[in-house]
Amino acid sequence: MAKSPLAPAQFPTLPNVAGVRFGTLAAGIKYQNRSDVMLAELAPGTSIAGVFTQSATRSAAVLDCQKKLGLPAAEGAAILVNSGNANAFTGHRGMASVEALSKALADQLKLSETRVFTASTGVIGEPLPHEKISTRMPELIADLDAEGIAMAAQAIMTTDTYPKGASAQVETPSGPVNIVGIAKGSGMIAPDMATMLAYIFTDAQIEQAELQGLLSLLNEVTFNAITVDSDTSTSDTLILAATGASGHRVSAQNLAFVEGLHQVMRDLAHQVVRDGEGARKFVEVRLTGAANDQDAKQHAKAIANSPLVKTALAGEDPNWGRIVMALGKSGAAAERDLIKIWLGDILVAEQGWVAASYSEERGAAYMKNAELVIAVDLGMGNGAATVWTCDLTHDYISINADYRS
């Protein structure tokens, strides 16, 4: 599959995070001749926070991870991920696979099973052949390497066209800490309290409850503010692990740490949109002047998820009437004559009508850009939200029509 035209030039050079090692394995779950299993081994005392899909049909791995969050964390921990099979909607066999993998890995690493966090991504409804992983645990563990994060990012990919990584180094009062993250995601992207799969690691020292609160807060303005196709996965998982191995303690009041974490999460979220299946446009939808922030996000997502808006973006058509349509159907408060709409810095509509200064030629020229901004002010209050999306092209249909082939 060709690399997305919106992709970064290359995978970033990520610093090592003390207390984390990565291993990969080509288990042949679905894909041949490529790594499809990732293991992250975490140092004793690692704090782990997570947010997950709210899908009513969420996978066995998600349900298992949710039960384990917040349990005693004195010993080490491990994260095990496979691609190619979602292990979702597979009945009792789904949980049996999770339990088998957790036990096999816990036994090898001398951990409690409650400290093993699994995830699966890929085709829904097919039993996971977990024996292909569990019987090769020694091989996977032998591959553990503090510098293995780039290979880990590749192993968790499905229809992604490139591996996704981001990092930040933060100065704290007691010294520097590193934050690094990897993610996968390309389609079935409209997270509901989570993302596709994303794993973030820091060597900062922070209590689990505080880490959880910080992750949940920042998730709302990063991973929970993106959409490719309005479909929420059964497997969405975002985990943040703080090893504490740097010896430098941080808190949610440490603004530099919060901003560094926000930067990494936003970068990864944007990369997921840039790798949207078939995407050719990266689009920011800015909504201001709403009655409240919730209304603003509801309007912004209505625009970002509209197939008519997204196909107009793909066709480079400045069809701003579709933005009007999306605002009207969103269910949030709006008054026609107060609405203003811009494409970039071009005022398109105001006072319930096309702006006097607008020309179709300027609009059409702007739409040829690879990165676009749709801005709307509702003129009703101080509510604001930003959502990121992409266009909807013929390639999206081709990729998903052949997904199981």
The catalytic residues are 195
Considering only CA atoms, which of 190, 209, 186, 203 is closest in space to residue 73? 209
Q: What is the Cα–Cα distance from 265 to 155, expressed in whole angstroms?
A: 20
Q: Tokens representing 126?
A: 């097919």
- Give the amino acid at 379: G
């180094």: which residue's tokens?
Answer: 169
**Quick one: 11 exposed, middle or buried, by C-beta within 10 A (0-12, 13-18, 19+)?**
middle
Query: What is 169-223 written as a DSSP string?
Result: EEEETTEEEEEEEEEE-SSS---SSS-SEEEEEE--B--HHHHHHHHHHHHTTTG
Considering only CA atoms, which of 288, 325, 289, 285 is closest in space to residue 307? 325
Three-class HEC string of 331-342:
CCCCCHHHCEEE
Residues 268 and 217 sit within 8 Å (Cβ to Cβ): no
Interstrand relation of 371-377 and 340-343 (parallel, antiparallel or unpaired): antiparallel
